Amino acid sequence: MDKVVKDACQHTERVADYAFDIMPSEERLPFEAHLASCSLCREELKELRAAWQDLPQLAELAEPPAGLKEEVMSGIFGIEAKPNLPRSRSIWFYVMSAAVIIAIVAGTFWNLRITEGRQFAAEEALTETASIAQLVSLEPSEPADSKAYGIACVLKKGNSSQLVVYVFGASSNQGTDAYQVWLLRNGERSNAGTFKVGEKGIGVLTYAMEQVRSFDAIGITLEPDGNGQSPRGPKKYGSTEPIQWD
Amino acid sequence: MLNATDPELIRLVQLRSRDALEALYDRYVKLVYSFALKTIRDESLSKEIVQQVFTRIWTSSHAFDPTKGQFTSWLLTVTRNIAIDVLRKERRLEAQRPTANEALDRYPAPEEESPEQSLLKAFEQEQVRSAYRRLTEAQQKLLDLFYWQGYTLTEIAEMTDEPIGTLKSRLHQSLKTLRRLMQAEGEG
């Protein structure tokens, strides 16, 4: 309910300051309180704002240059992989890369800490050697990432299994963003951890599994940070077949 | 996406939909770019402004409150703020260069008519433009310096050697006149 409506309000001149953002910040709140009870000033504000919002129409419409959309979107969603990465995608490259990774990982298998707090199974398995139980390739989800590819492999040692996910040719991470690995089983998606990719475009993640013996799919998304419990960002890689082992 | 309203698209952007951001881009890039170009008068800086605007939409979509006004008003406020920041930064850099570069003082070449401009939009634009032309020269100059060139009233007072109070009244009056003229033309 407004107070007595006067013919003029002593504050009406200040409405312009408020409308054009030139009012000092400490005066804004008290002025807003005044606006709430003064219909004259509110009306003035409405008029000034309407005129202010018409001003953009004074600009001639101009066609943005070609290619701007690609530049803007790649600026927001990730930069293209550097052009001088190797182009070879033959199966032997996959196998050899996997062999190198597995050799490294198997060597440090039981001593490696994967993520905060998660530890490996019993040290008594040190006497056994890890073997590759299953190997699947991970295809890039976006055609623009055609230089990128990945491998998921399951290592077995005794009764414990270790999932190793490896990506090559990935866009490097900026700021807090990170890649996140998701395992799909029976329609449910679980978080297998996050990893970062640096300038070389390589990323590795290892994940210990105790009782699991299969999953339907693996997906890797690019997340704004490593704190999500469900996918928020776009899918970057996906498995092309189910993963099962004994 | 094509039939979604602006608030719906923004809501989808808040839920991290890239498609929704791209839909907003397609819908409004011309407006943002044109506004930037009129402010900064440089194609490559205008592209930079477009980049910053849509990045801001992606990262700060929660800042838009559909109850407080139209999406386009918010979008243009964001665009203007970014454009003026870029403009002021360029001015500072220009001032430091030994040889004065007049690029920023050049008025852009007359724009070509866009065939896609709808008749209604052209009509609305013409309304604002013809109202604007009826302002006094001093009013037009002030609007140009304050709104498009991003100078503060203090800076303009120094440039034109006039008291701030006079400039404030003039600004206030210009907008009220514009509003009155627009309403009159609308009813004509």
Q: Judge: A68–B29 Cβ closer than 8 Å, yes or no.
A: yes
Q: Is the dihedral of CA A226, A228, A233, A239 positive or negative?
A: positive
Q: What is the mean pLDDT of residues A121-132?
A: 51
Chain mean pLDDT for chain A: 77
Q: Which of A43, A45, A61, A74 to mutate to test the interface with B (most CBs of B within 10 A)?
A: A61
Cα–Cα distance, A229 to A218 (Å, whole number):
15
Closest partner residue to B29 among A54, A58, A64, by Cβ?
A: A64
Q: How confident is the model at residue A105 (pLDDT cuts 50, 70, 90)?
A: low
What are the backbone angles phi and psi of residue B141, rounded to the nearest 5°? -60, -45
Contact B176 A51 (CB under 8 A): yes
Check whether B156 has a pLDDT greater than 50.
yes
The 10 Å Cβ neighbour count of residue A231 is 17
Q: Contact at 8 Å (CB) between A184 and A154?
A: no
Q: What is the mean pLDDT of residues A200-214?
A: 81
Confirm if A164 and A101 have CB atoms less than 8 A apart: yes
* DSSP-assigned letters across all residues of B100-122: --GGGGSPPPPPPPPTT--HHHH
pLDDT classification of A117: cutoffs 50, 70, 90: very low
Per-residue model confidence as pLDDT tens digits over B56-73? 999 999 999 888 888 999
Cβ B79 vs Cβ B53: under 8 Å: yes
Characterize B87-109 residue by residue with b for buried, 16 or more Cβ atoms within 10 angstroms of its Cβ, and e for exposed: beebeeeeeeeeeeeeeeeeeee
Angle at the Cα of A223 (from A219 to A226), degrees rounded to 5? 100
> What is the pLDDT averaged over residues B78-85?
95
Asked if B34 lies within 8 A of A20 by C-beta distance, the reply is no
Predicted confidence at residue B119, as pLDDT, reads 67
Q: Which residues of chain B does A234 touch, with a Cβ-Cβ cutoff of 8 Å? A: 18
Residue at token pair 């008290």: A30
CB nearest to A56's CB, from B55, B76, B168:
B76
Partner B contacted by A53 (CB < 8 A):
yes
Give ∠ CA B9-B12-B15 in degrees, rounded to 5: 155
Residue A122: pLDDT band with limits 50, 70, 90: very low
Name residues 7-26 of chain A within 8 A of B (Cβ).
13, 16-17, 19-20, 22
A205 has pLDDT over 50: yes
A9: its two tokens: 């309000």
Angle at which helices B153-160 and B164-187 cross, to 10°: 110
Alpha carbon of B98: minimum distance to chain A alpha carbons (Å): 31
Residue of B nearest to A72 (CA): B51
Contacts of A62 in chain B (CB under 8 A): 30, 33-34, 37, 111, 114
**Measured between alpha carbons, how far is B71 from B82 in angstroms, rounded to an integer?**
17
Residue in B with minimal Cα distance to A232: B16
Mean pLDDT of B44-48: 94
- Chain A: give the shortest CA distance to residue B95, in Å: 25
Rounded Cα gap, residues A196 and A94, in angstroms: 21
Higher pLDDT, A41 or B105: A41
CB-based burial, A168-190: b 16+ in 10 Å, e otherwise: bbbbbbeeebbbbbbbbeeeebe
- Average pLDDT for A54-76: 92
- Percentages helix, strand, coil for chain B, rounded to the nearest 5? 75, 0, 25
CA distance A213 to A136: 15
For residues A177 and B48, what is the distance between their CA atoms, to the nearest angstrom?
23
Q: Does A75 touch chain B (CB under 8 A)?
A: yes
Buried b (16+ CB within 10 A) or exposed e, A46-77: ebbbebbebbbbbbbbbebeeebeeebbeebb
Mean pLDDT across chain B: 86
Beta strand A188-195 with A178-185 is: antiparallel
| CA nearest to B178, candidates B125, B133, B124, B120 | B133
- The one-letter amino acid code at A164 reads V
- Distance (Å, whole) CA A88 – CA A91: 9
Mean pLDDT of the A148-160 span: 81
3-state secondary structure of A100: helix
Mutation pick from B24, B35, B40, B139 vs chain A, by most beta carbons of A within 10 Å, is B35
H helix or E strand, kind and range, residue A238: strand A235-239
Tell me which residue has tokens 């509110």.
A42
Cα–Cα dist B171/A86, whole Å = 61
CA nearest neighbour of B147 among B94, B103, B81: B81
- The residues pairing with A237 across neighbouring beta strands, listed in sequence order, are A140, A220
